[in-house]
């Protein structure tokens, strides 16, 4: 019994990722920093940061604006956590650029978009340039990509692919749950077999 479970479990887990573009629940997935979504979350986080009471005096002096996205990851939970890193810029003298880390929680079906954390630290210009280089970003402002989505893909094909991937994922997770439960029952029955009794497992 246990050998069968151990054999089937990795096959089932691999099926979760086979022919599917959907991230596994709980894992972090890298996203395109030049996408419209990435810039949207960066601007949302920045608008939250500049209205914070602890930054108001600095913002009044420097008038920081959202500059560009540096990194963008998503995590599927009871919704989506958007983990982003972006930079701010100022044209005022003596105001260093800021490197910001932020997290936004989204539940699209509830229309929830909540910034849960924003932390920004000033960086020297050469430090920021090194960060851009490390993340393979150009020195100039990155514009969102708007022409990357092909227009000739029927909506029905997109919906069919999404539906098929969701059903496959749910089916594989159910198999994992059954295997884990069977393993637990086998182990419990084995350890509770009375002395002298004959186990059929």
Structural domain ending residue among the three candidates 134, 164, 193 = 134
Look at residue 101 and tell me if it is in a domain: yes
Give 20-61 pLDDT, tens digit per residue: 455 555 688 999 999 999 999 999 999 999 998 888 889 999
Average of per-residue pLDDT across 68-86 = 95
Q: What integer pLDDT is reported at residue 24 of this predicted model? A: 53
Q: What integer pLDDT is reported at residue 194 of this predicted model? A: 53
**Same domain? 37 vs 19:** no
pLDDT band at 155 (very low <50, low <70, confident <90, very high): low
Provide the number of structural domains found in the chain. 2
More confident residue, 111 or 179: 111
**Same domain? 48 vs 129:** yes
Look at residue 144 and tell me if it is in a domain: no
Look at residue 128 and tell me if it is in a domain: yes
Look at residue 146 and tell me if it is in a domain: no
- DSSP state letters, the chain: -HHHHHHHHHHHHHHHHTT--SPPTT-EEE--TTSHHHHHHHHHHHHHHHT-TTTHHHHHHH--EEEEEEEEEEEEESEEEEEEEEEEE--STT---EEEEEEEEEEGGGTEEEEEEEEEEE--HHHHHHHHHHTT--SSPPPPP-S-S-S-S-HHHHHHHHHHHHHHHHHHHHHHHHHHHHHHHHHHHHHTPPTTPPP--
**Same domain? 71 vs 11:** no
Structural domain boundaries, residue 10: 1-25+152-201
Look at residue 67 and tell me if it is in a domain: yes
**Same domain? 43 vs 129:** yes
Give 86-137 pLDDT, tens digit per residue: 999 999 999 999 999 999 999 999 999 999 999 999 999 899 999 999 988 8
**Same domain? 77 vs 162:** no
pTM (2 d.p.): 0.57
Furthest CA-CA distance within the chain: 86
Q: CA 65 → CA 71, 97, 103, 132, distances in Å?
A: 18, 10, 18, 17
Look at residue 116 and tell me if it is in a domain: yes
**Same domain? 21 vs 48:** no
Look at residue 200 and tell me if it is in a domain: yes
Look at residue 145 and tell me if it is in a domain: no
201 has a pLDDT exceeding 80: no
Structural domain ending residue among the three candidates 134, 160, 179 = 134
């Amino acid at each position: 019994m246990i050998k069968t479970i151990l054999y089937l479990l990795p096959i089932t887990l691999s099926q979760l990722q086979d022919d599917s573009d959907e991230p596994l629940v709980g894992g972090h997935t890298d996203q395109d920093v030049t996408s419209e979504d990435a810039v949207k979350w960066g601007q949302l986080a920045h608008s939250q940061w500049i209205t914070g009471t602890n930054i108001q005096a600095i913002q009044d002096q420097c008038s920081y604006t959202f500059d560009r996205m540096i990194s963008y990851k998503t995590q599927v939970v009871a919704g989506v956590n958007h983990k982003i890193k972006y930079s701010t810029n100022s044209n005022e003298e003596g105001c260093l650029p800021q490197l910001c880390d932020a997290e936004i929680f989204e539940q699209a079906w509830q229309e929830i978009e909540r910034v849960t954390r924003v932390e920004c630290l000033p960086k020297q210009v050469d430090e920021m340039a090194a960060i851009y280089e490390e993340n393979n970003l150009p020195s100039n402002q990155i514009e969102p990509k708007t022409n990357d989505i092909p227009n000739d893909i029927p909506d029905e094909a997109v919906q069919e692919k999404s539906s098929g991937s969701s059903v496959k994922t749910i089916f594989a997770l159910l198999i994992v749950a059954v295997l884990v439960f069977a393993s637990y029952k086998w182990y419990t029955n084995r350890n509770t077999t009375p002395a002298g009794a004959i186990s059929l497992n």
